Amino acid sequence: MGNALFGLQAKTAQEMAYIAMDFISKNIVNIIGSVIILAVAWVIANFLCGGIRFLLLRHKADVTITKFLVDMLRAAVMCVAFLIALGNFGITIAPFIAGLGAVGFGASFALQGPLSNYAAGATLIFTKPFKVGDILEVGDQVGEVIDMTLARTILKTLDGTRIIIPNKKIIGEIMHNYSEFKKLDMKIGVAYSSDVEKALRIFKDVVARDKRITARPEPKIGISEFADSSINIYARLWCRQSDYWDVMFDINKAVLESFRHGGITIPFPQRDVHVITEGKKI
């Protein structure tokens, strides 16, 4: 039984090989012509894409839009070349295009999720709320945009983690674009008995000495609130994404040491307790 099945398979493979050889021998000219058409189209596509990319980048066009237009141009050229190559074998193009339209219409219902990502990606590319290299905050995700396609956007976080976000999850969300720099918010409490003006001067001097903190946007430092146990000093600073953690740690350390040398007290939580005994308050 096994030998018979093996023999049948071998015969079928041999017949398929004969059919393929017969097809190739009868259409060798058409096959060579189609290969030449596709090869020439590939060369033309690369030449056009290179020229378009050079012109767009020379005029400082957005990197994401440049990549999108170049990819679409290459796909369009190769699609036309493929249809022309099919014509060499006597295949009528019109029914083929109609069939693709019908298949595409049916597939649009089955692929609503992925297609919505592409639609969202096209919206993002042409409205340009952000670009590659920007620091983006979407929902609870924050990172540098390192790549963007029609389907998804990739962020790189401070610790080097790559986050892939489908574009449909970005459209409609509140986005914070920090561009090249990331916001650093800091809050330090000082005792009510301390010299607050001196504490503010010390904090500003520490910030001014750190060259990693940008001058534009200008750092903002002042009293933010009067808490139960402290007067809270708030600072809004800006630094590069890669320097974020180092700047925060170094500023905290420098402020703490400067406060100690300057006699500024950072209080712990305190409560005044009043005890009443036999009608008298102690």
Whole-model pTM? 0.48
Mean pLDDT, residues 174-194: 85
The domain 2-110 is placed in CATH, from the list 1.10.287.1260, 3.40.50.2300, 3.90.480.20, 3.40.50.720, at 1.10.287.1260
The mean pLDDT of the chain is: 78
Mean pLDDT, residues 95-120: 59
What fold is seen in the domain 130-179?
SH3 type barrels. (2.30.30)
Q: Is the pLDDT of residue 248 over 80?
A: yes
| pLDDT of amino acid 257 | 93
Q: Where are the domains of the chain?
A: 2-110, 130-179, 181-262
Cβ proximity of 154 and 148 under 8 Å:
yes
Q: Is the pLDDT of residue 264 over 80?
A: yes
Going from the C-alpha of 9 to that of each of 13, 14, 19, 168, 277, the distances in angstroms are: 6, 8, 15, 49, 104
Q: Is the pLDDT of residue 34 over 70?
A: yes
Least confident of 50-64, 101-115, 149-163, 227-241: 101-115
Higher pLDDT, residue 55 or 256: 256
Q: Is the pLDDT of residue 110 over 60?
A: no
Least confident of 95-99, 113-117, 139-143, 174-178: 95-99
* Structural tokens at position 253: 């350390």
Q: Is the pLDDT of residue 111 over 50?
A: no
d(CA 72, CA 66): 10
Q: Is the pLDDT of residue 20 over 70?
A: no
d(CA 210, CA 24): 73
pLDDT band at 232 (very low <50, low <70, confident <90, very high): very high
The domain 181-262 is placed in CATH, from the list 3.30.2010.10, 3.55.50.30, 3.30.70.100, 3.30.300.30, at 3.30.70.100
Higher pLDDT, residue 168 or 27: 168
pLDDT tens-digit series, residues 116-171: 777 787 788 777 788 887 888 888 888 888 888 778 888 888 778 899 888 888 88
| pLDDT of amino acid 9 | 57
Closest among 44, 201, 63 to 131, alpha carbons compared: 63
Q: Is the pLDDT of residue 13 over 80?
A: no
Mean pLDDT, residues 46-58: 81
Q: Is the pLDDT of residue 187 over 90?
A: yes
